[in-house]
A = this chain, B = another copy of it.
């Protein structure tokens, strides 16, 4: 009988559950708030791989805090796998020795502290991932032993309602529950009947009522009042020079004022160009408030979302033709499926970056910070497994391959990947550099590769206030370099251009200035924005959008 040797996971699971069963404060799957720390001490073992739900928006913050309070003598050297490091507690566990190793995707607000911890040897980093890549590894070699997740509500059987901010939860729970792991959920409330069941109780071991609602960050809200006229100009170029040029119907927008400007120009500038119904019909996108005017004007057929956005609940419910919602009327988001959609079902990704080099490599990594990239590498890469055609994808592929021979000349489509930046960012830091900080960061943090967000090989267009560089049309490293210099404005990189070669690229349509696109820069005023303030957005929504307090400036 060697059967037990093949069911160690199941046996360990039973042992953990039986240790938990002896705790006070348990009632079936329901765990009293005060029992959270003892529960973690009962189920966790040193060296465990633990997935703490730290999302882009939703945080299992109560469980994160509870984890900092376990006895490091009993629970230590954990291997944390989580999408986002957002809270101080996410790093506190490394200071105290409770955790030791980390695999993650994004660490925005904790990036500087993370870099220090790495420098002092207080943390081992496995790798930085794009979200879908991290989820994929949950099913291969980073499977969690224990998952600590957040849901909106549970019923008394332990069924979960994740509601609008479902985000990463299904991927985490599935990987853990079906590998002999243990799933613990914090919930805001326990109710008799859930609006809908999102995760069956069979997949959940423990439900803890948190003392306060889980933290959710309104990450995708951009106040139109802060959009500049340069951003309006760039948005006009994006719409006319790229979206209309390729007939882009399915797309994803990154976070930021640049893309918010595009969203707000669709019903005004886009309408004036007769583009309604021709572009921007299907989106893989969180429910951006800046998209409200375009939705109201009938531009948008569908939006599938990674997560939700605070204040958009009533609007989403009232626009269920556009958003993915449950029979209860609330949003269904799902980061895994939306990243798959962004990868395989979109023709264009457009986002911003902090630095671009002469090869077109771009990165948001800067010295002294280890930030990661979230979803950008997944959506900002050519999806080479894609086999269905669309006009935008075919045209990009044709431009990239025209005149090429051999394997590189075999006809194939290509995703449009646009980097949209002003030539100078905050504090007059140039967006164009000879050498990315990523190279220095690689040395500092002893990484295998420089932390490049989007590779030059995958970028198709660089858009600045000076114009659009279409890298698909470049046929040599030298042309690519001059195309980039040619839209780099008054940065050192831009000033070092070969003026004659740049003019030649312009003649060939590789570089297009606003005037080449028939855009008069004087028309680029804030008056073109379909909403110029938060109040305008609320008004456009018919009062259905209810912005979080900090955005209520009227």
Name A residues whose Cβ lies closer than 8 Å to a Cβ of B: 3, 6-10, 103, 126-130, 132-133, 135-137, 139-141, 143, 159, 171, 174-175, 177-180, 196-198, 200-203, 249-250, 281-282, 284, 301-302, 304, 318-322, 324-327, 332, 334, 336-338, 340-341, 343-346, 359-361, 373, 377-389, 394, 405-413, 448-452, 455-458, 477, 480-481
Contacts and interface: CB of A to CB of B under 8 A. Distances in A.
Contact of A174 (B127, B159, B337, B456): B337
A128 B9 contact: no
A189 B406 CA distance: 55
A249 B137 CA distance: 13
B137 A326 contact: no
B136 A341 contact: yes
A381 B385 contact: yes
A325 B178 CA distance: 5
Contact of A137 (B103, B198, B388): B388
A141 B180 CA distance: 37
Nearest to A179: B324
A319 B367 CA distance: 47
Contacts of A381: 383-385
B385 A140 contact: no
A202 B326 contact: yes
Contacts of A327: 177, 202
A335 to B, nearest CB: 12
Given A159-B200, A197-B202, 16 more contacts: A7-B321, A10-B321, A127-B387, A135-B340, A140-B282, A141-B301, A141-B345, A175-B337, A180-B321, A196-B202, A198-B200, A360-B407, A361-B410, A377-B387, A381-B383, A406-B480
B302 A141 contact: yes
13 contacts: A9-B320, A9-B321, A127-B389, A128-B387, A132-B340, A132-B385, A133-B383, A136-B340, A139-B284, A198-B200, A202-B326, A336-B336, A384-B457
A436 B198 CA distance: 47
A337 B250 contact: no
Contacts of A386: 130, 133, 377
B132 A326 contact: no
A249 B321 CA distance: 45
A361 B408 CA distance: 10
B202 A345 contact: no
Contacts of A319: 6-7
Given A139-B284, A386-B133, A387-B377, A7 B411 contact: no
B448 A394 contact: yes
Contacts of A128: 387-388
A399 B31 CA distance: 54
Contacts of A324: 139, 178-179
B448 A389 contact: yes
Contact of A385 (B321, B343, B449): B343
Given A133-B345, A410-B455, A452-B410, A320 B6 contact: yes
Contacts of A7: 318-321
Contacts of A382: 384
Contacts of A449: 389, 394, 411-413
Contacts of A481: 406
A292 to B, nearest CB: 12
Contact of A334 (B137, B174, B448): B174
Contacts of A136: 337, 340-341, 343-345
A406 B3 contact: no
Contact of A338 (B139, B143, B322, B345): B139
A126 B384 contact: no
A387 B140 contact: no
Contact of A361 (B174, B361, B407): B407
Most chain B beta-carbon neighbours within 10 Å: one of A140, A196, A412, A413: A140
Contact of A200 (B130, B141, B200, B341): B200
A443 to B, nearest CB: 13
Contacts of A179: 302, 324-325
Nearest to A103: B388
B320 A405 contact: no
Instruction: Give 6 nearest A-B pairs by CB, closest first.
Output: A406-B477, A407-B456, A127-B388, A381-B384, A136-B344, A378-B385
A3 B542 CA distance: 10
Given A140-B304, A320-B180, A384-B458, A450 B411 contact: yes
B407 A135 contact: no
Contacts of A137: 341, 344-345, 388
Given A202-B196, A389-B448, A135 B457 contact: no
Contacts of A202: 196-197, 326-327
A30 B246 CA distance: 48
A457 B139 contact: no
A238 B341 CA distance: 34
A171 B304 CA distance: 14
